[in-house]
Amino acid sequence: MWIDVQTKMEETQIPSTTITTDFLRDMGFCQPSMGMILGTGFGRFSEMLEVEARVKYNDIPGFPVSTVAEHAGYLVSARHGKTRLVIMQGRIHRYEGYSPEQVTFPVRIMHQLGARTLFVTNAAGGLNRFFQVGDLMSIVDHIDMMGGDPPPSIGPPDFRSGPVYDEELRIVLADVAAKSGMTLRSGVLSSMLGPSFETPAEIAMLRRFGADAVSMSTVPEVVVASQLNMRIAGVSCISNMCVGDEPSPIKHEDVAVVVNDAIDRFSLLMTGMLEEINL
């Protein structure tokens, strides 16, 4: 039922993935085994790898352009040892006005380039009262509060998610963290459309629903990757705690500062995982 994605994309005016992947292959993006999306404050991670090619989103045919500060807007081809990654340095959000199809277009490109694993990162507000600002959280599952998922015009209408986040990858992440003496939380991520931060009532609702953290991204990309049968893992950085009983003092700039401070720990975790899984 969901084979003719290309025709659907043309009908809905989403550019052809073939034009984009051909362009990227010409620019040196060859056979990545993993796609990675670096959210707010995580961008610096790609500079810790061996970068092979780097193109601005504006220069890639069909690519949506990130308009948010702290989202550099580069697609990067990089290696760590034998593993080649295609990395979004900065993501596209629904709250920038992009449709689910546009936000998830880069995931289709990563898949078409050859990536069969997707690693997602984001900054998130902490809902679990045991969490602390700066904690890293391995994503166990998600609650989609953003709506519009899966992308209605392209995705399979009868798609049902089983477990989405790969258990083996989660175990590897936990092992790497334990070996390096690092605290790695695990929990359920919820997604809100944003860009406003949550009201006290929304925070109370999300907690009751069983969410441990809340972000304004990630779920659309993960849904599409899961439809494409990719292995998925992800880490959130708790950039603020959702207090709930007072107006949130948090600003988007503050979020990036906290994540930046966690980047060395994230890097240790990520490179340890790449060495372990040997893609």
Residues that bind ligand HPA (CB under 6 A): 123-125, 192, 197-198, 214-216, 239-240, 242, 250, 255
When CB distances to ligand HPA are compared, the closest residue is 125
Q: Which of 97, 156 has the CB closer to ligand HPA? A: 97
Q: Which of 181, 247 has the CB closer to ligand HPA? A: 247
Q: How far is the CB of 195 from ligand HPA (least distance, A)?
A: 9
Q: How far is the CB of 94 from ligand HPA (least distance, A)?
A: 12
SS (H, E, C) the chain: CCCCHHHHHHHCCCCCHHHHHHHHHHCCCCCCCEEEEECCCCHHHHHHCEEEEEEEHHHCCCCCCCCCCCCCCEEEEEEECCEEEEEEECCCCHHHCCCHHHHHHHHHHHHHHCCCEEEEEEEEEECCCCCCCCCEEEEEEEEECCCCCCCCCCCCCCCCCCCCCCHHHHHHHHHHHHHCCCCEEEEEEEECCCCCCCCHHHHHHHHHHCCCEEECCCHHHHHHHHHCCCEEEEEEEEEEECCCCCCCCCCHHHHHHHHHHHHHHHHHHHHHHHHHHCC
Q: How far is the CB of 34 from ligand HPA (least distance, A)?
A: 24
Q: How far is the CB of 179 from ligand HPA (least distance, A)?
A: 28
Q: How far is the CB of 7 from ligand HPA (least distance, A)?
A: 35
Q: Which of 35, 125 has the CB closer to ligand HPA? A: 125
Q: Which of 77, 218 has the CB closer to ligand HPA? A: 218
Q: Which of 69, 178 has the CB closer to ligand HPA? A: 69
